[in-house]
Structure 1
C-alpha cells in the first residue's frame, strides 16, 4: 500500500516534445527533487530527447547525477569563494555571479550570470569593465539572465534581455551564447531575430516536466476504514468525531510532503478572502486534505502522520474500501512518492 505517482508516459513525452520543438537548444532543468520525478528519471528523459546538457541546482546534485547523464552539467547555483569543494567531471559548467567568482575559477568552464530585475544575484553593469582580464583565465561558455515570472509593472522581458545584450556588446565581451530563463517562445524568437550572431538557450524546468497537468497523478492507497459516530474519540490527540461517518487511513504523510505548503503571494481581494477563510477554519482544526473521494476533497480528521493521513468521510458519502486509491492533489516539487508507475 503506497503513495504512487502515475505517469501517462505517452502523453508526458508528447508534451516534452512540444516544448523541445518550441525552444530549439533547450537546456532542461533537473533540480531539487527532480520536479517530483527524481534526478535519475529526468536525466533519462533528457537523454531520450537528445539534450546535450542538463541544468542542476547545486554541485551536490551534479555529483549525484553525473553517473546518469553523459552530457554537460550546468550548475545553476553561483560559485562562491570558500565553498566546499565537490569533485566534478570536466563536463560540469559553473555559474558565477561576481568578478571575484570568475577569478576563483581559473581553468574552469563558466557561465556568467548578469543581474536582472529579479535582483537575486548577478554581475552589475559597473563590473563589466573588470571582466575582460578575468575571463582570460576561464573557459567562458556564455552569459545568462534569470528573469522574473510576473511583470506587474507592464515591462517587457525582451527589452530587459536586449538591454543587457547591448551593455555586453558595448563592453566588447564575447556574446556567442546567452542562457535565458522564463521567456515565451515568441519572445525568444524576437531576440534571435534581433541578435542573429548569438545562440539563445532557454533553461526550462516546470514548463517542460509539469506543463501538462493531466499527464501525471498522485494516488494514495486506503489502508484502513473505521466507522465512527458523532462524539467518538480518536487519534493521537483524542479529538471528537464531528459527526457520523468513517475514519479513512490513506498512504501519504508528512514524510511524503503531505500537509506541506509554501507561502503564496496573494493579489486581489478574492484570493485574500479565501486565505483568511482557510486560516479561520484552521483555528477550528478544520484543514482540507489533498485527497479526493466521491468527487470531493476531504478534510483531515487530524494533522497527517509521518507516513499516513487520517481523513473524515461523513456518513452521507460512500465509504471507501481497503485497497482503493484516492487521488491526491500534491505539489510535485515538495512530494516524495513511494513508487512511480508508467502506464
Structure 2
C-alpha cells in the first residue's frame, strides 16, 4: 500500500520527444527531487534521447549523478569560494555569477551567468570590463541568462537577451554559446536568426518532464477505513467528527510532501479571495486535502501524519474500502513517492 506516481510511459515520452524536437541543443534539467520521478529515472530518459549534457542544481547532485549519467553535467548553482569542496570529474561544468567566482575556478570548464531582470544572481554590465582577464584562466563554455517566467510589464524576453548579446559583443567577449532559460521555441528561433554564429542552448526542466499533465497521476492507497458518527472523537487531538461518515487512512503524509505547499504569487482578485477563504477555513481546522474521492476533493480529518493522511468522507459519499486508491493533486517538485509505476 503506497503513494504511487503512475506514468503513461508512451505518452510521457512522446511529449519529451516533441520538446527535444522543438529545442535543438536542449539541455534537460534534473534537480531537486527529479521533478517527482527521481534522478535515476530522469538520467535514463536523457540517455534514451541521446543527449550529451544534463543540468543539475548543486555540486552534491552532480556528485550523485556522475555515476548515473556519462555525459557532461552542468551545475546551475553559481560557484562561491566559501563552498564545501566536492570531488567532481572534469566533465562537470561549473556556473559563475561574478568575476571573483570566475577567478576561483582556474582551469575549470565554466559558464558565466549574466544578471537578468530576475535580479537573482549574475555578472552585472559594469563588471564586464573586468571579466576578460578572469576568463583567460578558465575554459569558457559560454554565457547564460536565466529569464523570468512572467512579464507583467509587457517587456520582450528576446529583446532582453539581445541587449545582453550587444553588451557582451561591445566588451569583446566571445558569443560562441549562449545558455538560456524560459524562452519559447519561436523566441529561440528569432535569436538564432539574428545571431546565426551563436549556438543557443535552452535549459529546460518543467516543460520537458511535466509539460503533459495527463501523462502522470498520483494515487494514495487506502490503508484503513473506520465508520464514525457525528460528535465521535478521534485522532491525536481527539477532535469531533463533523458528521456521520468514515475516517479513511490513506498512504501519503508529510514525509511524502502531502500537506506541504510553497507560497503562491496571488496576482488576481479571484486568487486572493480564494487564498483568504482557505486561510479563514484553516483557523477552524478545515483544511482541504489533495486527495479526491467520489468526484470531490476531501477534507483532512486532522493534519497529515508523517506517512499517512486521515480524511473525513461524509456518509452521502461512496464508502471507501481498504485497497482503493485515491487520486491526489500534488506538486511534482515537492513530492516524494513510494514508487513510480509505468502503465
Distance 1:155 1:205 in 2: 24
The structural deviation recorded for 1:316 is 0.3
2:300 aligned residue = 300
1:219 aligned residue = 219
Structure 1 segment 110-189 matched on structure 2, within 5 A: 110-189=110-189
Distance 1:15 1:190 in 2: 23
1:95 maps onto 2:95 in alignment: yes
2:281 aligned residue = 281
The structural deviation recorded for 1:82 is 2.1
Distance 1:269 1:126 in 2: 40
The structural deviation recorded for 1:131 is 1.1
Post-superposition CA distance 1:198-242 (Å, at most 9, x none): 000000000000000010111000000110000000000000000
The structural deviation recorded for 1:185 is 0.5
Three-state SS of the structure 2 residue aligned to 1:219 is strand
Distance 2:299 2:104 in 1: 53
- The number of equivalent residue pairs is 343
Distance 2:258 2:6 in 1: 17
1:63 aligned residue = 63
2:41 aligned residue = 41
Three-state SS of the structure 2 residue aligned to 1:76 is strand
So what's the TM-score if we normalise by structure 2? 0.99
Three-state SS of the structure 2 residue aligned to 1:77 is strand
Distance 2:59 2:268 in 1: 39
Distance 1:6 1:318 in 2: 24
Distance 1:83 1:29 in 2: 22
Three-state SS of the structure 1 residue aligned to 2:10 is helix
Structure 1 segment 176-255 matched on structure 2, within 5 A: 176-255=176-255
CA RMSD of aligned residues (A): 0.5
1:321 aligned residue = 321
Distance 1:318 1:129 in 2: 69
2:269 aligned residue = 269
The structural deviation recorded for 1:163 is 0.2
- Structure 1 alignment gaps of length 5 or more: none
Three-state SS of the structure 1 residue aligned to 2:77 is coil
Post-superposition CA distance 1:105-127 (Å, at most 9, x none): 11000000000000000001111
Distance 2:138 2:47 in 1: 28
Stretches of 4+ aligned residues off by more than 2 angstroms: none
- Structure 2 alignment gaps of length 5 or more: none
Distance 1:26 1:190 in 2: 16
The structural deviation recorded for 1:259 is 0.1
Post-superposition CA distance 1:49-106 (Å, at most 9, x none): 0111000000000000100100000000000012110000000000000111111111
Distance 2:12 2:168 in 1: 38
Distance 1:163 1:305 in 2: 51
Three-state SS of the structure 2 residue aligned to 1:50 is coil
The structural deviation recorded for 1:129 is 1.0
Post-superposition CA distance 1:240-289 (Å, at most 9, x none): 00000000000000000000000001012111111111111111111000
Three-state SS of the structure 1 residue aligned to 2:122 is coil
Distance 1:213 1:241 in 2: 35
1:82 aligned residue = 82
So what's the TM-score if we normalise by structure 1? 0.99
Distance 2:223 2:213 in 1: 27
Three-state SS of the structure 1 residue aligned to 2:95 is strand
Three-state SS of the structure 1 residue aligned to 2:320 is coil
Three-state SS of the structure 1 residue aligned to 2:227 is strand
